[in-house]
Structures are given as structure tokens and as C-alpha cells.
Amino acid sequence: MPLRVIVGVSGGIAAYKAVSVVREFVRRGHNVTVIPTGSALRFVGLPTWEAISRNSVPTDLFEGVAEVRHVALGQQADLVVVAPTTANMLASLASGFAADLLGTTVLASTAPLVLAPAMHTEMWENAAVQANVESLRRRGTFFIGPESGALTGDDSGVGRMSEPETIVDFALSCLTPQSLEGKRVLISAGGTREPLDPVRYLGNRSTGAMGVALAGEARLRGAQVTLVHAHLEVSPPSGVELVSVSTAEEMHAAMVALQPAHDLVIMAAAVADWRAKNPSTQKLRKADQPEHWSPELERTPDIVADLGQRKPTGQVLIGFAAETEDIASEREAAARMKLDTKKTDAVVLNLVGERVGFGEVETAVTLITASPQSLTFEGTKSSVAGRLLDALPEL
């Protein structure tokens, strides 16, 4: 479900990285309002914040007085993140100052407050700054960073703002129930590539976005995640163990080897059903081939079926069914057949095609179980992945 997120930006050079923080929240389907301080606007201008957040950006304490905006923004927020948080902002928040719109918003909000400090090492280590940090921690404020690394100028040390994706992951984890804490989750993602020769392959349109989203959401819920991935066109989440494969045979070997150590296995990869029986070791030159060429193909291993046969007691196995039929009942019938024949606990059914299902697009999936009732989720892949995982206790 989309969250109402306030991203406060205080006046430090790391404000430029906050643009990516906002972008990442938006990319994951959340509604973001940016509240920059006057100093922050000297680093990054108003048009940038509005373009990236896709919302108007309030800056003045006396704007929207009729709707009491200086209070309403905080009251309506599900999450408040301040990135970067300067030494001055730490002092202001610790003292409860409300001298600007960001200050009043924080005071008026009961949502989790996440601070991402950024300043020079000497400032961060100053006793006054550390006293402010400790005071805020005691009141339940969450901190992410700072990290050690290159700072402004030639300086290096503790004080660098955490990376945007890390900040977003951490902030969302402060809201996410740790329903998978202590669990080991194995997920496959991406499209396999079956070589015809050293430069050509049989492949598919999968980008791996759904499997990557599931891995990220499982980690946010406290799981220890292993992602076995073939070809990806999206970046894998941080904090998960990555196992890279290319072909269906390689993915089969990896999944079978890793399966016994995991509590939940999700087979989201788009695995090729066919491969060349005798791939060439040399490039097949066009001039040497007939006008109509028909390479001999053979079936690849049925990974889901094999995992179903090997599934240990207590393990939950979820398969995916990518279908193209226009009639919904026909798609569901195909998914239920897979549920029965592959011995999975659930099948995630999704409609795919040249312009739907693949990549960073809005998606709709249906969770099929032994129950005659099914659950349908729509939205971004991150939001759908989260709702799928939240439905797992029903299994």
C-alpha cells in the first residue's frame, strides 16, 4: 500500500544525494512530499524537488494557512525522513524548535522519524552533537549512518551520508512488520539464456524485476535472503546473498543445492523451456547456414517440479505462472494445473506479453492456492511483492 512520506532536506552538500532518496521512494510507489529548508534550496532548487517527487513542494511556514498546512503535513504522514540531517538540524530537532515548516511538521507528526546525518567527522564527534543524537534516540528516533568515506574537499572519515537506497530500505523497515525474521528465503529471478553458439542464445523478455522486488521486500521483513539470478535488467537489492547463473541447467543446480537450507522458496525466474541440443562451439556464420534453419531443441530441467518433489517438511514452495490467454478463467485454470502437478503450495499467476508484465511497470498478479478463493494484487512490483509476502501466513 502506498505510504505518505515526508522527506525533509536540510542544508548540507549531501542534499544532492537526497534527490535519489526521493526518487527511490517514488519508484517504489509511495507518495512523497519534500520539505526543504531555506539552506537546502541553496544546494538543490525547487524545480528539481517537484520534478522528482511529482508533487508541489511547500517551503514557507505561512503557506496554506487556511488548511493549517504546518500541522496537517505531519499529521497525515506515515513516515518522516530527514536526509541529510546536518548538525544544525540535529540540534533543532533535539530542542523541539519549530522555526520553519520542516520543524513544525516533525513536531506535529507521530509517524516514525528517520534521520540520515551528514557532516564532517569533527562535527559528528563533537560532544554537543552526540548529546543531541542520544537525546533523540531515547525518544524513539531512528538513525541510519553516517558512514565512513570521502567527505567534502579532501577530508575523509565518519560523517558521509548513507547511500539513498540504503536509507530508503532502512526507513521502510521501520514500518514493516518483521514477519519473516529468523527465516531463510530462497528466490530465483531473471531470464535464463540458452546458447546456440558463443554469441547467440534463446532467451525471453524477463527483466527480473519481480524476483528482485520479492528479495528486497523479504529482507525488509527480516528474512535472510539468497537470490539466485540469471539475466537481470534491474539492480538487485542490497543486503541479500547473490548467486549468479546463466542457463536453466545452472539455475537448476543452484536451486536444488540451496533448497534444503531454506524455509521459503519462491521460483520467480523466467526459465527457458527449451535449449539447443548441440550448441555450436564456434559462431554459426550466416553465409554457412541454409535459408531456413531449424536448430534441434530439447527440454530444459523442470526446476519447480523438481523442487516440489524434493520439498522437505515444513518448507513453503511458491511457483510463478506467466500466462498470455486473454480469458482470465483460462489463465487461472492453467495456474491451478501447475499447482497440482508441480506440488507447490501456491502459484503466482500473472498476465504477460510484449507490452505487459515485464520490466518496471504496474502489474497485477493473482495468488492461487488449494483454496477455491484467490487473491489479486495490483500496483508497482515492490508493493505487489510486499502484499504477496504479507499473505504468506495464510499458507
Active site residues: 204
Give, in order, the Cα–Cα distances in Å from 299 to each of 103, 215, 270, 272, 376. 62, 28, 15, 9, 32
Q: ∠ CA 83-88-90 to the nearest 5 degrees?
A: 60
Please give the DSSP secondary-structure letter assigned to residue 37. Answer: -
How many Å apart are CA 356 and CA 210, to the nearest integer? Answer: 13
Q: What is the DSSP string of 295-319?
A: --EEEPP-HHHHHHHHPPTT-EEEE
Residue from 364, 310, 302, 372 nearest 338 by CA: 302
Q: What is the DSSP string of 320-356?
A: EEEE--SSHHHHHHHHHHHHHHHT-SEEEEEE--SSS
How many Å apart are CA 351 and CA 363, to the nearest integer? Answer: 9
Q: What is the DSSP string of 149-161?
A: EE-STT-EEEEEP
Nearby residues of 243 by Cβ (< 8 Å), 6 or more positions away:
226, 227, 228, 229, 254, 258
SS3 116: strand
Residue from 13, 278, 262 nearest 123 by CA: 13
Residue from 309, 346, 310, 351 nearest 328 by CA: 351
